[in-house]
Structure 1
Amino acid sequence: MTPTATYRLQLQPDFPFAAAADAVPYLAELGVSHLHLSPVLEAVPGSGHGYDVVDHGRVRAEFGGEEGLRALAATARAHGLGLVVDIVPNHMAAAPRHNLPLWEVLREGPDSPYARWFDIDWEAGGGKVLLPVLAGRVGEESAGFERAARDDGTPVLRHAGLEFPLRDGTADLPLPELLAAQHYRLAWWRLARTELNYRRFFTISDLIGVRVEHPEVFAATHGKILELVRDGVIDGLRIDHPDGLADPGAYLGELGEATGGRWTVVEKILTGAEALPPAWAVAGTTGYDALHRIDGLFTDPMGAADLLGRYRDFAGPQGDRGGYWTATVRRAAYRVVTHELAAETEWLTRLAVQVCAGDPATRDHAPWALHTAVRELLVRVPVYRPYVTAGGPLTEIAESTLPAEAVRDARAAFSVAQEADAVDVVRDLALGRLGDGPEHASFCARFAQTASALHAKSVEDTAFYRYVPLISATEVGGDPGQPAVSPEEFHAFGTRLSRDWPGTGTVLTTHDTKRSGDVRARIAVLSECPERWSALVEQLARATPVPAPDPQLAWQAWQSAYGCAGLPADEMAGRLEPALLKAVREAGLFTSWTEPDPAYERAVTDFVAAGPGADAGEARVLMARFARELAPFVRANVLGAALVHLTMPGVPDLYQGTEREYIALVDPDNRRPFSRPAEGGDEKTALTAAALGLRRERPGLFGESGTYAPVAARGPAASHCLAFCRSGEVVTAVTRLSLRLDEEGGWRDTVLTLPGEGPWTDLLAPGGEFTGPEVPVAELFAQRPVALLVRTGGGGAAGRG
Structure 2
Amino acid sequence: MTPERPDPVAVPTATYRLQLQPEFPFAAAEAAVPYLASLGVSHLHLSPVLEAVPGSLHGYDVVDHARVREELGGEAGLRSLARAAREHGLGLVADIVPNHMAMAPRHNRALWEVLREGPDSPYARWFDIDWRAQDGRLLLPVLGGPLGTELGRLEADGDVLRYYDHAFPLREGTGKLPLPELLDAQWYRLGWWRLARTELNYRRFFSISELIGVRVEDPEVFDATHRTILRLLHEGVLDGLRVDHPDGLADPDAYLRRLHEATGGRWTVVEKILADGEPLPAAWPVAGTTGYDALRQLDGVFVDPAGAGELLGQFRRFAGPQGDRGGHWESTVRRAAYKVLTHELAAEVDRLTRAADRVCAAAPDPALRDRAPWALRTALRELLVRMEVYRPYTSTDASLVVTGEAAAEARQVFTVPEEAAAVDAVRDLLLGRADGPGAGEFRARFAQTASALRAKSVEDTAFYRYVPLLSANEVGGDPGRPAVSPEDFHAYCARVQRDWPATGTVLSTHDTKRSGDVRAALAVLTECPRRWGDVLAEVTRVGPGVPDPLLAWAAWQTAFGLGPAAGDTGDSGDAGDAGDAEDSGEAGDIGDVEGVGERLGGALLKHVREAGLHTSWTEQDPAYEDAVAAFVREGPGGAPGRLIGDLRDDLAPQVRANMLGAALLQLTMPGVPDLYQGTEGEYRALVDPDNRRPFAPRRAPSEKSSLTGAALKLRRRRPDVFGDRSAYTPLTAEGPAAAHLLAFARAGEVVTAVTRLSLRLAEQGGWQDTRLELPPGRWSDVLAPEREFTGHARVAELFGPLPVVLLERTGEADGN
Smaller-chain TM-score range? over 0.9
Taking the aligned partners of 1:19 and 1:428, their CA distance within structure 2 comes to 55
Is the CA contact 1:566–1:663 (under 8 Å) kept in the aligned structure 2? no
Q: Letter of the 1:549 partner, please give it.
A: P
Q: Shift of the alpha carbon at 1:666?
A: 0.1
SS at 1:55's partner residue? strand
Taking the aligned partners of 2:362 and 2:353, their CA distance within structure 1 comes to 15
Q: Which of 187, 192, 209 is the matching residue for 1:205?
A: 209
Give the TM-score normalised by structure 1.
Answer: 0.96
Is the CA contact 2:564–2:645 (under 8 Å) kept in the aligned structure 1? no
Structure 2 partner of 1:383: 389
Taking the aligned partners of 2:48 and 2:432, their CA distance within structure 1 comes to 34
Q: Shift of the alpha carbon at 1:620?
A: 3.3
Q: Shift of the alpha carbon at 1:436?
A: 6.2
1:15 aligns with 2:33: no
Q: Which of 780, 784, 790 is the matching residue for 2:808?
A: 790
Q: Shift of the alpha carbon at 1:659?
A: 0.3
Q: Shift of the alpha carbon at 1:556?
A: 0.7
Taking the aligned partners of 1:100 and 1:321, their CA distance within structure 2 comes to 47
Structure 1 partner of 2:169: 165
Taking the aligned partners of 1:230 and 1:276, their CA distance within structure 2 comes to 27
1:724 aligns with 2:724: no
Q: Letter of the 2:613 partner, please give it.
A: L
SS at 1:383's partner residue? coil
Structure 2 partner of 1:403: 403
Is the CA contact 1:476–1:513 (under 8 Å) kept in the aligned structure 2? yes
Structure 2 partner of 1:626: 647
SS at 1:595's partner residue? coil
Structure 1 partner of 2:62: 53
Deviations 1:71-93 (A, max 9, x none): 00000000000000000000000
Q: Shift of the alpha carbon at 1:319?
A: 7.5
Q: Which moved more, 1:605-614 or 1:638-647?
A: 605-614
Structure 2 partner of 1:642: 663
Superposition pairs of residues 492-503 of structure 1, within 5 angstroms: 492-503=491-502
Deviations 1:51-106 (A, max 9, x none): 00000000000000000000000000000000000000000001111111111111
Deviations 1:531-572 (A, max 9, x none): 00011011111222x211111111110100011113242411
Q: Shift of the alpha carbon at 1:632?
A: 0.5
Q: Which moved more, 1:454-463 or 1:379-388?
A: 379-388
Taking the aligned partners of 1:548 and 1:707, their CA distance within structure 2 comes to 53
1:750 aligns with 2:770: yes
Deviations 1:642-661 (A, max 9, x none): 00000000000000000000
Is the CA contact 1:317–1:323 (under 8 Å) kept in the aligned structure 2? no
Is the CA contact 2:100–2:213 (under 8 Å) kept in the aligned structure 1? yes
Superposition pairs of residues 214-363 of structure 1, within 5 angstroms: 214-318=218-322, 321-359=325-363, 360-363=366-369
Q: Shift of the alpha carbon at 1:412?
A: 1.0
Structure 2 partner of 1:589: 613
Superposition pairs of residues 409-448 of structure 1, within 5 angstroms: 409-435=409-435, 437=437, 439-448=438-447
Structure 2 partner of 1:607: 631
Is the CA contact 1:317–1:552 (under 8 Å) kept in the aligned structure 2? no
1:578 aligns with 2:602: yes
Unaligned runs of 5+ in 1: 150-154, 797-801
Is the CA contact 2:298–2:662 (under 8 Å) kept in the aligned structure 1? yes
Give the TM-score normalised by structure 2.
Answer: 0.94
Is the CA contact 2:317–2:323 (under 8 Å) kept in the aligned structure 1? no
Taking the aligned partners of 2:622 and 2:255, their CA distance within structure 1 comes to 45
SS at 1:592's partner residue? coil
Taking the aligned partners of 2:599 and 2:373, their CA distance within structure 1 comes to 49
Structure 1 partner of 2:380: 374
The aligned length equals 777
Q: Letter of the 2:207 partner, please give it.
A: T
Q: Shift of the alpha carbon at 1:731?
A: 0.5
Q: Which of 541, 548, 566 is the matching residue for 2:546?
A: 548
Structure 2 partner of 1:505: 504
Q: Shift of the alpha carbon at 1:716?
A: 1.4
Structure 1 partner of 2:522: 523
Structure 2 partner of 1:759: 778
Deviations 1:409-433 (A, max 9, x none): 1111111112111001111222333
Superposition pairs of residues 20-31 of structure 1, within 5 angstroms: 20-31=29-40
SS at 2:93's partner residue? strand
Deviations 1:135-188 (A, max 9, x none): 100110001011224xxxxx1000011000100010000000000000000000
Q: Letter of the 1:378 partner, please give it.
A: L
Structure 1 partner of 2:572: none
Q: CA RMSD in A?
A: 1.2
Structure 1 partner of 2:688: 667
Taking the aligned partners of 2:89 and 2:690, their CA distance within structure 1 comes to 31
Q: Shift of the alpha carbon at 1:320?
A: 7.3
SS at 1:361's partner residue? helix
Is the CA contact 1:138–1:188 (under 8 Å) kept in the aligned structure 2? yes
Is the CA contact 1:321–1:589 (under 8 Å) kept in the aligned structure 2? no
Q: Letter of the 1:720 partner, please give it.
A: H
Q: Letter of the 2:92 partner, please give it.
A: L
Q: 1:752 to 1:109 in 2, by over 3 A?
A: same
Is the CA contact 1:349–1:370 (under 8 Å) kept in the aligned structure 2? yes
Is the CA contact 1:320–1:331 (under 8 Å) kept in the aligned structure 2? no
Is the CA contact 1:464–1:474 (under 8 Å) kept in the aligned structure 2? yes
Q: Which of 697, 713, 716 is the matching residue for 1:693?
A: 713
Taking the aligned partners of 1:200 and 1:670, their CA distance within structure 2 comes to 25
Q: Which moved more, 1:193-202 or 1:700-709?
A: 700-709
Q: Letter of the 1:783 partner, please give it.
A: P
Q: 1:320 to 1:460 in 2, by over 3 A?
A: farther
1:85 aligns with 2:94: yes
Q: Shift of the alpha carbon at 1:481?
A: 0.2
